[in-house]
Structure 1
Amino acid sequence: MSTTTTSQTPESEGPGRPARLIQNEATTEIPVHLLFRDDPDPVSVPLRPTVVGRRQGTGEQPRFRRPTPAKPRSAPQIDLDLAERPARVLPATAGVLAGACGAAGCVATSWWAGVLPKLAAAALRLPAYAGAGLGPAQWAAYAGAGALGMVGFGGLARGRTGQAWVLGLFGRYRGTVRRTGLMWVNPLLLRRRVDVRLRHWRSEPMPAADGNGVPLRVVVLVVWRVRDTARALLGIEDHETYLRECVEAALARVAVETPGGGRGPVEAADSRAAALTRLTAADVAPVGIEVFSVQPVRVEYAPEVAAAIHRRRIAALDARQRASVLTSVVDSVEDTVTRLTVRGLVELDDYERKALVKDLTVAFCSGRGDQGP
């Protein structure tokens, strides 16, 4: 008796495809070339798989999205467009001529209106004229001539050596004037004077530390000048205060030599001064300040450290003085006892010798204490 077993093939599968071993699971086909694909990017960046609408039995592969690295935040910088540039000014002759023309126009308008006295007209050699009176035309001529005179004479400015004018109009930078002598500047511009000479500043005692971390107080001499007037005045609120803070920050990063350590090589002090100058110049360069040297001129211990060192020195002096006094007293006692016994003045046994030495020591110490150091 033979039994025939007939395998049931699902309708979803064709006659040429083998039957699935697990009917309740969906399998995904992976192409062979994807297994051996080389990554062209040598930088190993973790991939985050993102599946978009994957359907069972379709062989759709998950899509991989490479995360975008975050851009590092840069430190705030001064606006690069804010840089010193020369302002437009005119010679003083233009302002004087404009003012003179305005004054002449006022005189002519007064003669035209007939308000100029006869004596003044005769002095100015003007022909006799009855005058047309003060009408709208005369008032308009007065306004024009007066405005011309005010603009001409009001724009005259004097430039000094070592000084510069920073000009602005309605909050906008319009240029810098470094010229000297008399010149004409637009009277509507706001003028701010800045010193561009080579300057030196002696600081107050600033906190610092030596190579061992001992607190110090350092007074430094800074030689500097304003190189870019626009950035120094408009790029920061107060460039002198900023310079002081940068010097203090540089002192916190450079180890200063302790007081009394100047007996070493001069190259060490020069290297510390060069380091202070380099750090300070790098910090103040973005605000238009040029630093030439930062030189420590006085170095002293902090008050609390100085008090501790003073107490230690006093204790050492007291111990040294006491040792010298005790040595002198012992020598004196020994000499006295030796003379008494050698000359035969007294006969002393051990107990009497010890008692005599004790009494002489007390007497000599008391006498030295009364005399003082």
Structure 2
Amino acid sequence: MSTTTTSQTPESEGPGRHGRLIQNEATTEIPVHLLFRDESDPVSVPLRPTVVGRRHGTGEQPRLRRPSPAKPRFVPQVDPELGERPARVLPGAAGLLAGVCGAAGCVAASWWAGVLPPLAVAALRLPAYPGAGLGPLQWAAYAGAGALGVLGFGGLARGRTGRAWVLGLFGRYRGTVRRTGLMWVNPLLLRRRVDVRLRHWRSEPMPAVDGDGVALRVVVLVVWRVRDTARAVLGIDDHETYLRECVEAALARVPVEAPGGTRTQVEESRAALTRLTAADAAPVGLEVFSVQPVRIEYAPEVAPAMHRRRVAALDARHRASVLTSVVDSVEDTVTRLTVRGLVDLDDYERKALVRDLTVAFCAGRGERVP
């Protein structure tokens, strides 16, 4: 009588059967059919990434954390519909012609009314006319000719290179004039002159800090210009004051290298100041090319302490360089004397020679032996 022992072996799971799972308190659930597959072209099973908590001594991976999104930086906004556009103007010849016609009309109305002086009649070579008097028609002719002359001569304007006019009518923006030369602009429009040339501004000493938080006073040179005249004039109260405040805000956010910083650090600080100031000034129509510190000094409350610290650092650096030079000179002298066989020294004599040479070299350089 034979006893048959049945051993259970894992069978391949078919696609239609529910996969058995291996589960442990320290692992996630893993389908068995993913470990033992007999299909030549198995069906891909989408798996979702699992995040587990780390347990000391189990070898588990640490919990995966998604990086927190960066907080959006505040950007000033102005009216999106407010933007520079060219204004409608006429050549200056049109205004001159209208003004001359208006003046000629006034003279003709005076001659018609008979109020033109005889000398003017003779100078203009007009025929003698007794005049019809100042009636309604004459006054209407006076009004029309006078209005034409005032509009013609009153609208004449001269455009200059690097200057622009922002035009407005009853509080509404009507366009910007960047043309040069003589032109005619509607005299009813309000004109605001804007300088659009490349400009530079040297600030007064502004508060700042270095990388260690030490208070500084910085004078910066800003190179800028007005790019959008409509936003610079109408979108803000005073664009020059706003630019000054933007520079001061950038100095409060960017550490400025203290006196004695490397060229690379100074360039990085200048680039950061320029980038922040340009980003803040762009929405109001200002274009900033460079914000460069031209004078950096410590604040009055920390200047004496930082001056003593700087002098001490320079003195220590100088002493270290002198000591290194003396040690190299002594080592070279002793080595040459020994190699050439000029002296035969034991340890005590070598130490005495090194001490005497060190004292001699330091005395020759005007330094005291530490």
Please tell me the TM-score bracket, short chain as reference. Answer: 0.5 to 0.7
Report the alpha carbon displacement of residue 311 of structure 1 after superposing the two structures with TM: 6.5
SS at match of 1:115: coil
Q: Could you say which residue in structure 2 is the equivalent of 1:166? A: 166
**TM-score normalised by structure 2 residue count:** 0.63
Gaps of 5+ in 2: 1-71, 314-370
Q: 1:111 to 1:300 in 2, by over 3 A?
A: same
Q: Distance in 2 between matches of 1:242 and 1:226?
A: 12
Report the alpha carbon displacement of residue 254 of structure 1 after superposing the two structures with TM: 1.0
Q: Distance in 2 between matches of 1:257 and 1:313?
A: 14
Q: Would you say the 8 A contact 2:246–2:280 is kept in 1?
A: yes
Q: 1:307 to 1:246 in 2, by over 3 A?
A: same
Question: 1:257-277 CA deviation, whole Å, 9 max, x = no partner?
Answer: 11123xx3x222111111110
Q: Distance in 2 between matches of 1:271 and 1:201?
A: 21
Q: Would you say the 8 A contact 2:254–2:272 is kept in 1?
A: yes
Report the alpha carbon displacement of residue 307 of structure 1 after superposing the two structures with TM: 3.0
SS at match of 1:304: coil
Q: Could you say which residue in structure 2 is the equivalent of 1:280? A: 277
Question: 1:109-168 CA deviation, whole Å, 9 max, x = no partner?
Answer: 011001112222122121111110111111111111011000000000011111000000
Is 1:309 matched up with 2:303?
no
SS at match of 1:173: strand
Q: Within 5 Å, give how 1:240-319 maps onto structure 2.
A: 240-261=240-261, 264=262, 266-310=263-307
SS at match of 1:285: helix
SS at match of 2:301: helix
SS at match of 2:268: helix
Moved more, 112-121 or 170-179: 112-121
Partner AA of 2:266 in structure 1: A
Q: Within 5 Å, give how 1:187-226 maps onto structure 2.
A: 187-226=187-226
Is 1:117 matched up with 2:114?
no
Q: Distance in 2 between matches of 1:250 and 1:259?
A: 19
Report the alpha carbon displacement of residue 173 of structure 1 after superposing the two structures with TM: 0.2
Question: 1:306-333 CA deviation, whole Å, 9 max, x = no partner?
Answer: 13335678999xxxxxxxxxxxxxxxxx
SS at match of 1:236: coil
Report the alpha carbon displacement of residue 207 of structure 1 after superposing the two structures with TM: 0.6
Question: 1:233-265 CA deviation, whole Å, 9 max, x = no partner?
Answer: 00000111110111111111111111123xx3x
Question: 1:276-330 CA deviation, whole Å, 9 max, x = no partner?
Answer: 10000000000000000000111100000013335678999xxxxxxxxxxxxxx
Q: Could you say which residue in structure 1 is the equivalent of 2:90? A: 90
Q: Could you say which residue in structure 2 is the equivalent of 1:227? A: 227
Q: 1:155 to 1:203 in 2, by over 3 A?
A: same
Partner AA of 2:194 in structure 1: V
Partner AA of 2:270 in structure 1: A
Q: Distance in 1 between matches of 2:295 and 2:212?
A: 19
Moved more, 80-89 or 300-309: 300-309
Q: Distance in 2 between matches of 1:107 and 1:91?
A: 25
Q: Distance in 2 between matches of 1:280 and 1:187?
A: 38
SS at match of 2:302: helix
Q: Could you say which residue in structure 1 is the equivalent of 2:332? A: none
Q: 1:269 to 1:313 in 2, by over 3 A?
A: closer
Question: 1:81-127 CA deviation, whole Å, 9 max, x = no partner?
Answer: 10000000000011000000000000000110011122221221211
Q: 1:288 to 1:313 in 2, by over 3 A?
A: closer
Q: 1:110 to 1:169 in 2, by over 3 A?
A: same
Alignment RMSD (CA, Å): 2.2
Q: 1:315 to 1:78 in 2, by over 3 A?
A: closer
Gaps of 5+ in 1: 1-71, 317-373
Q: 1:303 to 1:194 in 2, by over 3 A?
A: same
Q: Could you say which residue in structure 2 is the equivalent of 1:11? A: none
Q: Distance in 2 between matches of 1:205 and 1:76?
A: 26
Question: 1:147-200 CA deviation, whole Å, 9 max, x = no partner?
Answer: 100000000001111100000000000000000111000000000000000000
| Number of residue equivalences | 243
**Which protein has the larger Cα radius of gyration, Structure 1 or Structure 2?**
1
Q: Distance in 1 between matches of 2:173 and 2:311?
A: 63
Q: Would you say the 8 A contact 2:298–2:306 is kept in 1?
A: no
Partner AA of 1:124 in structure 2: L
Q: Distance in 2 between matches of 1:204 and 1:83?
A: 32
Q: Could you say which residue in structure 1 is the equivalent of 2:348? A: none
SS at match of 2:221: strand
Q: Distance in 1 between matches of 2:113 and 2:133?
A: 4
Q: Distance in 2 between matches of 1:76 and 1:286?
A: 6
**TM-score normalised by structure 1 residue count:** 0.62
